[in-house]
A and B are shown apart, each in its own frame.
Chain A
């Protein structure tokens, strides 16, 4: 079915077809509930679609996806809704690592196994989980710091173009990055850090501000995702400062193109397909009453630089 007819169908279901009945689930069907933060986030949208595709290949598996639209109260309601619908296993990508905990408790008390996907809730919620699958934001920060360290030969002044303040993603990227620099005994210092709200236009303003404030001192920039990083790199190029090493995260189409064009130094491959497939396999094990052998299943996230960029196709 084409995307247009699909969206028309969805739209009709929303505005006119309220009377449409849902077909009661067949007894033997495994129902997977997936609560995720926002369908407008490219990676989340890519994982959600990959998960839908992966579920299509399995008989007797049904997937219910609820999107919190960046509202932590809605995510709490979404999880309660999934618990009430008695899903067999709950996949949660949390918007706020702490605010989901009361809702996770609800699911836990209802005896529903919980698999955290793509990010972890805060510590107090982690003992409620049956497991974790995905790339995690902290690890992304760690890898980004390794790339930056490589690029600058272990020393220099850098600045960070951040995602939206207050989100766990932003916080964990920063923590992973800083911890990793420390661990590497790197002499890289972070001299500036500003938010761009995941918005490439704002990222350009921030990059310009970094140039104005720090001038020649600035040797590298860490963008919280490829889109921010590529936007910042464009500013540096047009200011004649292509020597500034820019590192992003995600391995997106944008990021790969920026690496090929010589704008960015590096990023890492975070594949939504791998993420979704792994999550589905683990979810099915949990739904069948099995326990997972390990608590954490981090997907491989190979570094991408100009050397190996042609090996990756960029999925999102």
Chain B
């Protein structure tokens, strides 16, 4: 028997099999209302803020970590933005990024200096950040219906959050693939001790990854607050899961050293389209969650099978 060679380029696999984005979109086109501009705009709106978080999550996962705190940081960023808004839009945005950055530095410090498992360290930071945000706001959402602020949450023809997400993704893609720092992050994730022996400053690089993730989550919080006119302390409960799902579907692994921004983008669009289509055909939300869980499982299994086929 001749060895089975899968003559599929990574791009084809990424678009047709893991995840089956193109087939999904083809199915979507058959559904009344999917291809309308209004609907695609809603899709772009709904994945924009999550997409910014996905970039940070992907970078952290590439370096071999994980960031459970992104949802709480997103909420804190939104609250910080609305609180600082009386001083202007720019201070609000910088403030949101800054509080996110502080949370990111905490994550990075716990993981690298204190050698705490990333899940536990970021879980602790998640709970602390959520608690601090609830305490600061006295559990109430902070509200701003400032026109300029709300305008940032909208955008024509495409939502600003989506355009900002694309800009951040392109930048992150270039840094990860064409700059030394990016290659170092992959190396640290793939082989930490070897990277250290090569003279890479492992702890520093990892901390920087968490810092980036925190800043991006804060900025996503700013944009989401602008969209809702509200900085809510309880938003973002499922953000970490959505972001990790997109990154995982896009090829990142919990071991580190793998994953890409382009893949994560495909994963993000796939999940977004899936939810959008299920909404259009009136699938109740709990079945939507079940479906996403099943598909995530199926994709992970199929990845294992593809890998074995290739090795044969």
A84 engages B38 (CB within 8 Å): yes
A21 engages B234 (CB within 8 Å): no
B287 engages A166 (CB within 8 Å): no
> Is the C-beta of A126 less than 8 angstroms from some C-beta in chain B?
no
Closest chain A residue, CB of each to CB of B134 = A165
What is the minimal beta-carbon distance from A223 to any residue of chain B, in angstroms?
Answer: 18
What is the minimal beta-carbon distance from A96 to any residue of chain B, in angstroms?
Answer: 6
What is the minimal beta-carbon distance from B141 to any residue of chain A, in angstroms?
Answer: 6
B288 engages A102 (CB within 8 Å): no
> Which positions 1-52 of chain A face chain B at CB distance < 8 Å?
7, 10-11, 13-15, 17-22, 24, 39-40
B143 engages A18 (CB within 8 Å): no
| Most chain B CB neighbours (cut-off 10 Å) among A14, A21, A71, A167 | A14
Q: Which chain A positions have C-beta within 8 A of B39?
A: 81, 84
Top 7 nearest A-B pairs (CB, nearest first) are A165-B139, A99-B228, A99-B230, A84-B38, A166-B234, A14-B287, A67-B285
Binds B, one of A72-80, A128-136, A202-210, A292-300: A72-80
> Which positions 122-167 of chain B face chain A at CB distance < 8 Å?
134, 137, 139-141, 143, 145, 150, 153-154
A39 engages B24 (CB within 8 Å): no
B282 engages A22 (CB within 8 Å): yes
**Given known contacts A14-B278, A164-B234, A165-B134, A98 and B285 CB-to-CB distance under 8 angstroms:** no
A166 engages B30 (CB within 8 Å): no
Q: Which chain A positions have C-beta within 8 A of B36?
A: 84
Query: Given A71-B237, A78-B279, 14 other A-B contacts at CB below 8 A?
Result: A10-B287, A14-B283, A18-B27, A18-B277, A21-B31, A24-B32, A40-B286, A65-B284, A69-B285, A84-B42, A98-B229, A122-B143, A166-B134, A166-B137
> Is the C-beta of A64 less than 8 angstroms from some C-beta in chain B?
yes
> Which of B49, B224, B230, B238 meets A98, CB within 8 Å?
B230
Q: Which chain B positions have C-beta within 8 A of A10?
A: 283-284, 287
A166 engages B140 (CB within 8 Å): yes
> Which of B140, B230, B283 meets A13, CB within 8 Å?
B283
Identify the A interface with B (CB < 8 A). Answer: 7, 10-11, 13-15, 17-22, 24, 39-40, 64-74, 76-78, 80-81, 84-85, 96, 98-99, 101-102, 122, 124, 164-167, 170-171, 195
What is the minimal beta-carbon distance from A275 to any residue of chain B, in angstroms?
Answer: 20
> Which positions 48-82 of chain B face chain A at CB distance < 8 Å?
49
B288 engages A22 (CB within 8 Å): no
> Which of A18, A74, A96, A101 meets B24, CB within 8 Å?
A18
Q: Which chain B positions have C-beta within 8 A of A13?
A: 281, 283, 287
B145 engages A124 (CB within 8 Å): yes
A19 engages B27 (CB within 8 Å): yes
B281 engages A96 (CB within 8 Å): no
B290 engages A101 (CB within 8 Å): no
**In the bound complex, CA of A75 to CA of B278 (Å):** 15
> Which of B38, B153, B237, B290 meets A70, CB within 8 Å?
B237
Pairs across A and B, CB under 8 Å, 11 listed: A18-B277, A22-B32, A39-B286, A73-B49, A77-B42, A96-B232, A98-B229, A99-B229, A122-B143, A165-B233, A195-B139
What is the minimal beta-carbon distance from B54 to any residue of chain A, in angstroms?
Answer: 15
**Given known contacts A14-B278, A70-B237, A84 and B33 CB-to-CB distance under 8 angstroms:** yes
**Given known contacts A14-B291, A72-B232, A73-B227, A102 and B33 CB-to-CB distance under 8 angstroms:** no
> Which of A15, A77, A98, A165 meets B290, CB within 8 Å?
A15
